[in-house]
Structure 1
Amino acid sequence: MAESIILGTIAKQVLPAILQATYQIVSFREDVEQLQNTLEQLVPLFKEGKQVDLELTDQKRKGLEKFEKKLLEGEELVKKCCKISAPNIFQKYRYSRKISSLNKTIRSFCGLELQVESWRDNKLLRSDVQQMRMMVEGLTQQQGQGQGQIVGVGTLGNEGLLAVPKIPDRVVGFGMALRDLKNELFKENVTVLGLCAPGGCGKSTLAAMLCQDEEVRGKFKEIFFVNVPTTPTATYEILQTLLEKIGGGVLPSSWSEENAMKQFHYHLERKPEQLLLVLDDVWDKSVIEKFFSRTKGFKMLVTSREEFQVYNTEYHSKYHLEKLSHQDSMNLFRQTALSQDRNVGFEPEEDLLNQIVRCCDGFPLAITVIAKSLYQQHPVIWENMAKKLSKGSCILDFDENLRERLSASLDSLEKTVLDCFLDLSSFPEDKRIPASALINIWCELYELDDENEAFVILLELASRNLVNLVGSRKMTTGIVASFNDLFVTQHDLLRDLVIYQSRQRLIMYKREKGILESGRKQENHYFNPRLVYLGTGEMFVESWNDLQLPEVEVLILNFSASNYSLPPFMEKMRKLKVVIVVNRGRTCAKLSNLISLRELANVKRIRLEKVLIPSLHEFTLPLMNLQQVSLVMCDFDHALMQSTINVSYELPNLVEINIDYCHDIVELPPWICDIINLRTLSITSCDKLSALPERIGDITDLDLLRLHACTGLSSLPDSIKGLQKLRFLDISDCCDLNMLPDGIGELHCLKKLDMRGCNKLSELPPSAMNLVHLKEVICDQDTASLWEPRSSSLKINVPENDNNLDWLGVIFDN
């Protein structure tokens, strides 16, 4: 029978060949070992299927044929992986993802194409149905391991929404609390354990410590840690990620939250492993009720500021985290505020230390933030801080008074820096904020000289522990600072402080369509803001109410939908300078009502994330002052690529274009070459981009050309020699680039060249030696020798290999 032949080929030839090839890969073992684990389980399964001469339906037979084809492609992929050298970080990352995808495809096939019912209905397997059911379900339950994160005993689901936060360097006084919390969790009758304490007490830190405890990891085979946002789509987003990990696959975009929840519980009940789900910072008890299950081996740890009534019901328990003792508070403060070198800085008297620490009332976050603000400061600043903190009464009302104490740490911030800090209130909680978006906002709101000045402000906030930076390896090693892979996070308590201090900001979340009428009753200053954030689901023109926001300079639209209409009241925002549109959905969204942009003559910066880029013909009037366009994870409509527009009229002042992670872009729109005022063209991680326009040299004012990780590029057009003002060229991680154009030597203004990861460049054109103004080349050890003839006048920078790929995951998880 045909199906037996296919099964026999897969069982005897294809699967063993792939398995044998994996043992030769040495560059990225983790993903490969997971693939090996899958294959080792799958080979005997297919062999047994072949031996019993399975009778399959036409649909299943076609599925097997497609599966065989996919496996043959996988065999070629594995052979390519054997040739990747260890230092090639980007290639390792790229093929690691492909190996993970292959692993997921195999497991998905076993879970969806060869379902338990198909095996059960086969008359030749009736006598052994239970054994076969266990084998197939075993494969189904392990689906998702192809992501390289949930394998082995006590493995942490450490990607995206499931990331277990890092434990701070300084943790004091949690030893006993960790022991007690663990004992409570291990009680047989406890399914849901609530970890309760005011904000800033360290609930998230203690929960992260529990997840990384050896006993806990030994008991639970899978551990997921989820920060629970208050956004309308929070539960659905969590379900999407969890289902992919536990074997439920990708949710159809048309599914409701109710259907997704049923699917989650269905797959949870069929998991043989013990699983711990941590829901961090829950504000609504309904979230606990939705995820609650009496499935054997499943437990939940919930951190919350409120002691929900649900904690007092059957199968639920709670643990109240106490604030730090005075002695532990003193130890934490000393470790944070005082220099380890006793010959450096200021050594305060014990009474002064006690005075400040007592006012922190045992809140670790308050201690850390205030201590950080005093580190290596003048004695007068210490005394002034103690005086301010002592004026208030003891922290009894932890919410309001703690904010007042924390506010004292902001007093030393210069006004612009403080205003920038307050702008963080305009972004949703528990989400990474793109640094580039913040920098765009600050440059326009506060009329900063350049983006570097905004970045200095961001660094100052980070140095004071007011924000956390999740950074890219290229921030400090690239030719020019790139903020594309830099993100900002913030503790919930500090976010409360930001909102408490904010005055000229409007923040709105809608769970229903349309603007809430109750919002109109707010104080007037909320409706004369300079910055507005609107978070919604799917919106149509008729869904929007008419808001009067004449003073708005920055508008942030955050939604999760496949179709989204821009609010019609944008037409009245005559002072609008920055527009940021962010889609959190799974697929790119189609924008409508673009007429709202017609009257926005003052808009200078537009940032679009995960949307379908419309044709420029949909804009009937020019954007006279538009200077910067940033497109992140967007899809390009064919109409956009084929547009023929008068750029000098439509976009007369456009000087910067950023295109990042747009995986469907094969070529650039030809009209880009007509933007003669363009100074920055940055294209990163667009792996299908195969060539630059032949007329690229017509952009005569171009100062920076960045083509980072455009792995489909094999060459650059010779017309690049026309870029006579080009000073910075970044072709790093263009791993298929095998030659530079002969005319590159005519780039007489070129000062810096980044060519790391260009391993196929075995030689340089002779004209490269004519780059007399070239001062620095950043490259790998293998390509450094190419520049040896210029070594006396050229700085050849060979950075150390960065094998930490965590920063790459940020953009995909966000």
Structure 2
Amino acid sequence: MAYASLLNLTQTLEQIPHSDGQCQVLHQTEEQIGRSLLEKKINHKKNIETIRCLEGRIRVAAYEAEDIIESQIDISDQIVSDSRNHCEKCVEFRRHNLAKKYENLQKVIQELDSISEQVVNMKDRIDVENLPPRNPFPAGSLTFGSSNNSDMVGFDDDDLMQIKDRLTGPPSKLEIISIVGMGGIGKTKLARNVYDDPLIEYHFDTRAWTTISQEYNVQKMLTNLLGSTKYHSNIENLDEKLHKYLKGKRYLIVLDDIWDTKAWDEVQRLFPDDNVAVNAGSSSAIHHLSCLSPEKSWNLLHQTVFGEECCPCELEEIGKEIAKNCKGLPLALVVIGGLLYKGKRTHDYWMYVKQNVISAVIGTDDQFMEILLLSYNHLPHHLRACFLYMAVFPEDYKIRKSELTKLWVAEGFIKPDRSKSLEAVAEKYVEDLLDRNMILAHDRSYRGKIKICSIHDLMRDLCVRKAQEENFLHLFDRHVKYFPEGTYNQRRVSFRSDIYGHHLEDIYGSHVRSLLYYSWDLFNEETSFPTSFLLLRVLDALRIHFYEFPVEVLELVNLRYIVLNCIGTCELPASISKLCNLQTLIIHHGGYLNVANLL
């Protein structure tokens, strides 16, 4: 995340109308480091520890400089205010603090100078520049679990036919079919292809699909099932309504991604057994998905990299060996395929990827995760923060591209391009991650533009692990009963559950730039909204109910992105103009969505 932190620092420096000598020197130094990072394609295998150490130093120094500069602006404004109010003691106190910050900033400049010299002098380059896409069938079109894609990825036609035959056979008692197999083998994709098959759609009176995930919520599960059947109702007595709706019907229910049998136990009693019902879900007949054979593995890798093109003869043998070393797992194959698709189609580069895949398989028990890690290690610097940001969202979350790009812009991840808007650049980043099969497409417009995306569970596991390793993000979920050392220094915090009665101000310090809430049970009516994060840039509080516009938010003058949910009076105060950095304002009000893009 070194590059992203430098990019953030650049944008902070450029917002200062009249920067002093220190800031100008700092700007020159961080630009030199940024150029060096982009120019040098370092051999990760040989320099991994050096790189990690350098990137950690860059990130810490850039964050510290950013904190000093933004709080320095605040102190300068306070000095002017104190002078007008003739408070000489206050002015002197502020000036002392400002002098201390200048001293600290000078130390940061010295640290960045040292880093810059070390980066410039690094050797052992490896040429892995990207090529422009040449594949008429881009790798991103192979989307796992995508409802708008019928490509058979990770299983045979036989798998599809076996399940279809069982589902459309003579009516019988309630039946359950469990699709089982390793993570990344294509279970969801197979279930989706069955679910969307025209014959299946015709055969059943009603169908419903819901994703359970590790931290399931029964109420949400029932709501999704009823919504999936097009049955509209209020949230009361959902279990009775679901049972009544299914009674007497031939129905197909898919419960995807079940981690715990308790989830099945919670809902199985709701499915009527009327001797006409068939259910694809969780535990009677078991359909095992096997890993792909070497031949089928190569076919999938070939399709991912070349589409309908032919593989050059000099790459075919190496490609087959790469495919074989992916151990027959479709997700590993399409991710490595995305890496090859974006890289040079040369013998040397493919040999380099082959050796890295072999090292990943031999070097650790967690072979699959290491193979996926290759794709992250070879991401261009400008995409790394964007990819790790996917860890902000809950498991199986469907992410609107418009939401994602606005968040990336507000976070400062997007490098300005004079010929394009920031959001247009961000959209290209989304497509690049899709081409690499790092994220998945779930819905596209009739023009082929991505509308909704997600991330595979296993890729998200990698995302979360790397985000936490690099202090990029702190996830607050139901399993967190205490706050790890260093939590106070987090830049981004994503909440998945309530905060156990703690005050946010006691948990997190002034360094926080982003607060995102993804649980509906976070606050009650008596909970005060956090206003101590004066440097906050991103506030997604959709899942907090406000009865009127929270005027406290107006004190957070650095905000760039705000999402609020007002269930009562929600008139925007005139003083909203105080938020001079605001780019995006989204307000949900009484079921209506009001979006203002202020870029």
TM-score range, shorter chain: 0.5 to 0.7
Evaluate the alpha carbon distance shift between residue 288 and residue 468 of structure 1 in structure 2; reply closer, same or farther with a 3 A threshold: same
1:11-36 CA-to-partner distances (Å, cap 9, x unmatched) read: xxxxxxxxxxxxxxxxxxxxxxxxxx
In 2, the alpha carbon distance for the partners of 1:190 and 1:476 equals 40
Give the aligned partner of residue 332 of structure 1.
Answer: 300
Identify the match of residue 291 of structure 2 among 323, 329, 340: 323
Q: CA deviation at 1:589?
A: 9.0
Given the alignment of the two structures, is residue 580 of structure 1 paired with residue 512 of structure 2, yes or no?
Answer: no
Give the aligned partner of residue 799 of structure 1.
Answer: none
Evaluate the alpha carbon distance shift between residue 639 and residue 242 of structure 1 in structure 2; reply closer, same or farther with a 3 A threshold: closer
Identify the match of residue 280 of structure 1 among 234, 250, 256: 256
Given the alignment of the two structures, is residue 382 of structure 1 paired with residue 350 of structure 2, yes or no?
Answer: yes
Matched-pair contact (CA < 8 Å) for 1:204–1:280: yes
For normalisation by structure 2, the TM-score amounts to 0.63
Q: Give the match's secondary structure for 1:402.
A: helix
1:65-123 CA-to-partner distances (Å, cap 9, x unmatched) read: xxxxxxxxxxxxxxxxxxxxxxxxxxxxxxxxxxxxxxxxxxxxxxxxxxxxxxxxxxx
In 2, the alpha carbon distance for the partners of 1:273 and 1:205 equals 26
Evaluate the alpha carbon distance shift between residue 299 and residue 390 of structure 1 in structure 2; reply closer, same or farther with a 3 A threshold: same
1:686-701 correspondence runs (5 A): none
1:423-470 CA-to-partner distances (Å, cap 9, x unmatched) read: 212211111124455445544555644534444332321221111345
Give the aligned partner of residue 488 of structure 1.
Answer: 453
RCO comparison, higher one (Cα < 8 Å, 6+)? 2
The letter for the 2-side match of 1:640 is: E
Given the alignment of the two structures, is residue 625 of structure 1 paired with residue 558 of structure 2, yes or no?
Answer: yes
Identify the match of residue 638 of structure 1 among 543, 554, 569: 569
Matched-pair contact (CA < 8 Å) for 2:391–2:460: yes
Give the aligned partner of residue 169 of structure 1.
Answer: 151
For normalisation by structure 1, the TM-score amounts to 0.48
Matched-pair contact (CA < 8 Å) for 2:155–2:186: no
In 1, the alpha carbon distance for the partners of 2:146 and 2:221 equals 14
Structure 1 residue ranges without an equivalent (≥5): 1-162, 304-310, 478-484, 547-566, 669-681, 685-702, 705-814
The size of the alignment, in residue pairs, is 439
More helix as a share of residues: 2
Structure 2 residue ranges without an equivalent (≥5): 1-144, 417-421
Q: CA deviation at 1:647?
A: 5.4
Identify the match of residue 336 of structure 2 among 366, 370, 376: 370
Evaluate the alpha carbon distance shift between residue 544 and residue 207 of structure 1 in structure 2; reply closer, same or farther with a 3 A threshold: same
In 2, the alpha carbon distance for the partners of 1:429 and 1:385 equals 30
Matched-pair contact (CA < 8 Å) for 1:247–1:267: no
Identify the match of residue 201 of structure 1 among 185, 188, 193: 185
Q: CA deviation at 1:604?
A: 2.7
Matched-pair contact (CA < 8 Å) for 1:227–1:281: yes
User: What CA RMSD, in Å, does the superposition of the two structures yield over aligned residues?
Assistant: 3.9
In 1, the alpha carbon distance for the partners of 2:546 and 2:372 equals 43
1:416-435 correspondence runs (5 A): 416-435=382-401
The letter for the 1-side match of 2:212 is: V
Q: Give the match's secondary structure for 2:178.
A: strand
Matched-pair contact (CA < 8 Å) for 2:211–2:255: yes
Identify the match of residue 379 of structure 2 among 396, 401, 413: 413
1:582-634 CA-to-partner distances (Å, cap 9, x unmatched) read: 5669xx9986534521x222123333426555556752973332344345xx4
The letter for the 1-side match of 2:515 is: V
Give the aligned partner of residue 502 of structure 2.
Answer: 545
Q: Give the match's secondary structure for 2:183.
A: coil
Matched-pair contact (CA < 8 Å) for 1:332–1:367: yes
Q: CA deviation at 1:374?
A: 0.7
In 1, the alpha carbon distance for the partners of 2:185 and 2:440 equals 18
The letter for the 1-side match of 2:454 is: T
The letter for the 1-side match of 2:474 is: L
Give the aligned partner of residue 225 of structure 1.
Answer: 209
The letter for the 1-side match of 2:286 is: K
Matched-pair contact (CA < 8 Å) for 2:174–2:273: no
Question: Highest CA radius of gyration, 1 or 2?
Answer: 1
Matched-pair contact (CA < 8 Å) for 1:190–1:317: no
Give the aligned partner of residue 462 of structure 1.
Answer: 434
Q: Give the match's secondary structure for 1:355.
A: helix
Matched-pair contact (CA < 8 Å) for 2:340–2:350: yes
Matched-pair contact (CA < 8 Å) for 1:440–1:605: no
Evaluate the alpha carbon distance shift between residue 204 and residue 395 of structure 1 in structure 2; reply closer, same or farther with a 3 A threshold: farther
Q: Give the match's secondary structure for 1:318.
A: strand
Q: CA deviation at 1:205?
A: 1.3
Q: CA deviation at 1:413?
A: 0.8
Give the aligned partner of residue 530 of structure 2.
Answer: 596
In 1, the alpha carbon distance for the partners of 2:223 and 2:257 equals 19
Evaluate the alpha carbon distance shift between residue 609 and residue 354 of structure 1 in structure 2; reply closer, same or farther with a 3 A threshold: same
In 2, the alpha carbon distance for the partners of 1:209 and 1:474 equals 21
Given the alignment of the two structures, is residue 658 of structure 1 paired with residue 589 of structure 2, yes or no?
Answer: no
Evaluate the alpha carbon distance shift between residue 653 and residue 396 of structure 1 in structure 2; reply closer, same or farther with a 3 A threshold: closer
Give the aligned partner of residue 261 of structure 1.
Answer: 239
Matched-pair contact (CA < 8 Å) for 2:226–2:232: yes
Q: CA deviation at 1:294?
A: 5.4
Evaluate the alpha carbon distance shift between residue 486 and residue 609 of structure 1 in structure 2; reply closer, same or farther with a 3 A threshold: farther
1:71-90 correspondence runs (5 A): none
Q: Give the match's secondary structure for 1:465.
A: coil
Matched-pair contact (CA < 8 Å) for 2:513–2:538: yes
